[in-house]
Amino acid sequence: MDITLPYGRGHLTAEIGPAHPVRLLQNQEHFAERPPEEIIREAMTHPFGERLSTLASGKKSAVIIASDHTRPVPSRWILPQLLQELRQGNPQIAVTILIACGCHREMTPHELETKFGAEVLKSVSIVQHDCRREEDFVEIGTLPSGGTLKINQVAAKADLLLAEGFIEPHFFAGFSGGRKSVLPGISARESIFWNHSAGMIANPCARAGVLEHNPIHADMEAAADMAGLAFVCNVILDKEKRLVAAVAGSPQQTHRAGCEISRQMTQVKGKRTPIVITTNGGYPLDQNLYQCVKGMATAAEACTPGGVIILCAACEDGHGGAHFYQALKEAASIPELLDKIQKTPPEQTTADQWQYQILARILKQHSVIMVTRPELEKMVCEMHMEYAPDLESAIEMADRKVGTTGEITVIPDGVSTIFCAE
């Protein structure tokens, strides 16, 4: 069987021989019947709760929390309509875009212009969030889990706080979008670290597609409420990153509605198999190994214990996190690393701990083979994984490990898929 997988800024193709029956698990096809701008406009004019123009009336300032370069949010379509609605309700309102970098690096000028467009950048102020800049934060409450919530003072001082973003399955928050714009998006390092601490990540409900009883989601939703997030516009994208739906309005209702649309598009059922092949959805989400843990997490749900995960990702930016890389590289063994993490109290959570905790959890149960650029072979091996130059070689390696030439599950986009066992 011939398969085509998203890889970097293009695709990777391979043939899987008849010895391996393939179970292809991919999202349902959804085709938008209208242009993206019309879909967003429809959501904006028929929101959950009050229209943004009504909320803007009488306000002096508005802050729009916007996603950064690591998310494929079509901000060029969303931001102009948010600005139009704000200024329709209040032509004099001062607007600031606050980039929700979370723990990521700031965006470059080129990335800002590419994502938002020159016209938008001319008409607003831009502030890039830095979770380490302690002087930027104000404390606004206590999270349900007991952590202190500190957010960027630019958002805290706004008369009107809103956010754009997109909704897809998230490997420990259930789904992205909505409340994630506040926590982790514009929160202080200590608040993010508490929310992403070992006990929270280890909770069995902290998984893709799960909102009920998910403590990470509960913290995030509470953070959005405490911050006064009043309006969100979130979009849902298909596997080709095309906009197929949009939701807007009051945060909780809007997010829940968007999650259900996403669930219908992304939830698949299948039988667990000893070999699972997946990707991180191509660029921009496969630009580093840090992000690729998301695709691995989906594959782990579909893989039998002791099986092999094959992840295909270009990783243009390498590992994507120094602490993430060093933790795996310096670990004497995966069980030892996982035990150390699980004994770490919330207030002692370290940078990238959640990401290498999940990767360690995966590696304790499965072998991971990465099909990536040859210059990354050393890094991949240092992180307790194996390297393969192409998919055919990876399958041969996996066969030797599991001792079978049986069925293989292929999940073309691991980031945007929720796996449910039959």
Active site residues: 104, 170
Q: What is the 3-state secondary structure (H, E, C) of 336-370?
A: HHHHHHHCCCHHHCCCCHHHHHHHHHHHHHCEEEE
CA distance 88 to 45: 12
Strands 169-170 and 94-100: unpaired
10: burial class by Cβ within 10 Å (0-12, 13-18, 19+)? exposed
What is d(CA 259, CA 280) in angstroms, rounded to the nearest whole number? 20
Helix (H, G, I), strand (E, B) or coil at 296: helix
- Name which of 84, 86, 5 is nearest 52 in CA terms: 86
Strands 418-421 and 408-411: unpaired
The CA distance from 297 to 310, in Å, is 12
Contacts of 37 (CB under 8 A, 6+ apart): 77, 81
Query: What is the length of the chain?
Result: 422
Whether the upstream peptide bond of residue 284 has omega within 30° of 0, thus cis, is yes
> What secondary structure does DSSP assign to 145-208, as a single string?
TSPEEEEEHHHHT-SEEEEEEE--EETTTEE-SGGGGTTTTTB-HHHHHHHT-HHHHHSTT-ST
CA 175 to centroid of chain Cα atoms: 8
First CA to last CA across the chain, in angstroms?
23
Beta-bridged to residue 161, according to DSSP, are 63, 229
Name, in order, each residue with C-beta under 8 angstroms of 144's C-beta and a sequence gap of 6 or more. 215, 218, 219, 222
